[in-house]
Structure 1
Amino acid sequence: MKVILFCQNPYAFGILEPIMQVLKQKEFDYLWFVKKPIKNKFPFKNEPLTSNMEVVKTFKSDVIFVPGNEVPYYLRGLKVQVFHGLAGEKKGHFRIRHYFDLYLTQGPYFTQRFLKLKNKYKNFDVLETGWPKLDIYGNELHKYDEEKKALLNNYNAKKIVLYAPTFSPSLTSAPYLIDEFKKLAKNKDHLILIKFHDLMAEELIVAYQQIAKENSRVIFEEERNIIKFLLMADIMVSDTSSVVYEFLLLNKPVITFKSSSKNIQWDNSLEYKNLEAKIISNLQEDVFQKERQNIVAQYHPYNDGKSALRMVETVQDYIAKNGVPEKRKLSFLRKLKIHKIFGKY
């Protein structure tokens, strides 16, 4: 089986890496497509890589795994949506753009929604596999325990607080919590890790980098893959970010500010204040522990570390039954959009 790992944004690398490892184990032929503007951020050495769409077309893939919103209709292969997050309330998460043959969903909440859309449009299939980015939860949950212990000892702190807000200007809490984090930095019990999205506004990056310069207990993290920090943190502060769900699956408390989620089962504040008091309260009492189990059951009930394997084997079975599409039928306007993004081939 020949596979394309299709990347338009840096976050795709961490999502697709577990799939790559399965492809290696099965000795399948694969190729990374990485858009030219992010090619310098590609983290894996000695991997087959191209930014040339003509090369991708010549590869004649059987499967294209895509954790983004678009994929060229003219490429050979089963076009598979594997998603870039767990936030169903985000605008566009359930929008059908007609680029995909198969949606591989993370859990029952997503599966049920996409099955309804399948029945409406009748031009794609839906199968539940779990999400590959979270395979590390099943395989290497304690991978960073020693590093966490060393950090806490080095800073003489008791707990790690992770701040991971969304970048979306209309949803992010970052402009409004600057003073709250300056106050929190004075609490010697806490080590604060700041982890921003790649698309966060530059002025906010600068503002929080300055907080880190002025406070020894604040670290502005540059590493792209957030999983390491999710595993290390004792509590997370965020807003309307899909990473909230990734953290909740670890059964640890979350505090959000003005989240727009319709399924809030954690501590959500409607005011940008009392950050320190909320952190202390949630660490001591953790009153939302039972509610978190609802999120686990509905959003991602797979803790066996085998979602990437399920994805690969699911597409194998699907192709065995349905064959490999040479291209996907699209409306004229959808084709024009693909030509604008990727070129016409």
Structure 2
Amino acid sequence: MKDAVNVHFFNEEEYRNEVAHTGINVSMFHGIADKQIRTGEQVDFHDYVFVPGPLWVNKLVRDGVARSKLFIVGYPKLDILFTTQPPAESTKKAVLYAPTHSKSCSSYPAFKEFLNRFPPHIHFGVSLHPYDQVNPKTTMEELLSADVVISDTSSIVYEAWALGKPVIFPDWLVKEKVMRDWPNSISAKIYSEKIGYHAYNFDHMVELIDLALIKGLDGRTKQFMRQILPQQLRGKSGEVTAKILQKIAML
């Protein structure tokens, strides 16, 4: 719209020329993961760029985006989860497998061969990306119920960490692909620096589940997440975003 603040959740090249001549345009992430689709070159054609946390500011400034264009707003999608009561604890610990979509750096469908191999003391659930489901359903309810999450490069990784839930990565299925295809991504940083729990095969993953259930999130992961999604914005991101959009509209 010509006389409006337009918020874009994607940055496809086909509308770059249109965006450049239409109103005020804001880029806002539809997910919190880094899949190298939000580099400086890919988002800088917008007037402003909203990011979840300071790590993204540093990353985009290094890419040449002016600091004045960047606003830290958190991640509104998660707001409701910070005020929702988790379900009552079960006698079995719940492990949720929630990969990113199969056209990305994903552990799916390769992980399918392990779905029936989890020990009986674990309540194991699967929540696929909407791209890979016939009848997509939200992962939020499953995420709240989970004690441990298994994922790869999905936004679920950061969502789980923000909620205090440990994440286990199937390195043997996805690490090489991430380092090759997305070498400059935050995902590559997670795998190369082994932030969180990283399994080198399935048996090791089962061991790490028991360890994660005992130890939970380590201090290093918590510190990393403060750079991804600052504590003060958790549960308040929508309010912060709305106020900044109102200010931009009045410029």
Q: Which string of whole-angstrom CA distances, capped at 9 and with x for unpartnered residues, describes residues 46-103 of structure 1? A: xxxxxxxxxxx5xx55122222223542774321111022223x22232423442111
Q: Which amino acid aligns with 2:225?
A: V
Give the match for residue 132 of structure 1.
Answer: 76
| CA deviation after TM superposition for structure 1 residue 303, in Å | 4.4
Distance 1:316 1:170, change over 3 A: closer
Counting only pairs closer than 5 Å after superposition, residues 152-231 of structure 1 correspond to structure 2 as: 152=90, 157-169=91-103, 171-184=105-118, 186-187=119-120, 189-200=121-132, 224-231=137-144
Distance 1:111 1:296, change over 3 A: same
Q: Which string of whole-angstrom CA distances, capped at 9 and with x for unpartnered residues, describes residues 119-171 of structure 1? A: x3559811111111121243x231x425xx5xx4xxxx421111001114462
Residue segments in structure 2 that go unaligned for 5+ positions in a row: 179-186
Give the match for residue 36 of structure 1.
Answer: none
Give the match for residue 239 of structure 2.
Answer: 309
Q: Which amino acid aligns with 1:114?
A: L
Give the match for residue 181 of structure 2.
Answer: none
| CA deviation after TM superposition for structure 1 residue 265, in Å | 1.4
Residue segments in structure 1 that go unaligned for 5+ positions in a row: 1-56, 207-221, 322-345
Distance 1:226 1:96, change over 3 A: farther
Q: Does 1:78 align with 2:24?
A: yes
Give the match for residue 111 of structure 1.
Answer: 57
Give the match for residue 240 of structure 1.
Answer: 153
Distance 1:223 1:175 in 2: 16
Q: Which amino acid aligns with 1:294?
A: Q
Q: TM-score, normalised by structure 2?
A: 0.78
| CA deviation after TM superposition for structure 1 residue 106, in Å | 0.6
Q: Which amino acid aligns with 2:10?
A: G
| CA deviation after TM superposition for structure 1 residue 175, in Å | 3.1
Give the match for residue 278 of structure 1.
Answer: 208
Give the match for residue 182 of structure 2.
Answer: none
Q: Which string of whole-angstrom CA distances, capped at 9 and with x for unpartnered residues, describes residues 12-66 of structure 1? A: xxxxxxxxxxxxxxxxxxxxxxxxxxxxxxxxxxxxxxxxxxxxx5xx5512222
Q: Which string of whole-angstrom CA distances, capped at 9 and with x for unpartnered residues, describes residues 202-226 of structure 1? A: xxx69xxxxxxxxxxxxxxx55332
The structure that has the greater radius of gyration is: 1
SS in 2 for 1:199: helix
Q: Which amino acid aligns with 2:11?
A: N
Q: Which amino acid aligns with 1:290?
A: G
Distance 1:128 1:66 in 2: 16
Distance 1:266 1:197 in 2: 21
| RMSD of aligned Cα (Å) | 2.7
Distance 2:154 2:234 in 1: 25
CA contact (8 A) 1:234 1:253 kept: yes
**Once the two structures are aligned, what percentage of the paired residues are identical?**
27
Q: TM-score, normalised by structure 1?
A: 0.59
Q: Which amino acid aligns with 1:86?
A: I
Q: Does 1:92 align with 2:37?
A: yes
Distance 2:145 2:234 in 1: 20
| CA deviation after TM superposition for structure 1 residue 256, in Å | 0.6
Matching residue within 281, 293, 298 for 2:222:
293
| CA deviation after TM superposition for structure 1 residue 231, in Å | 1.6
| CA deviation after TM superposition for structure 1 residue 318, in Å | 2.1
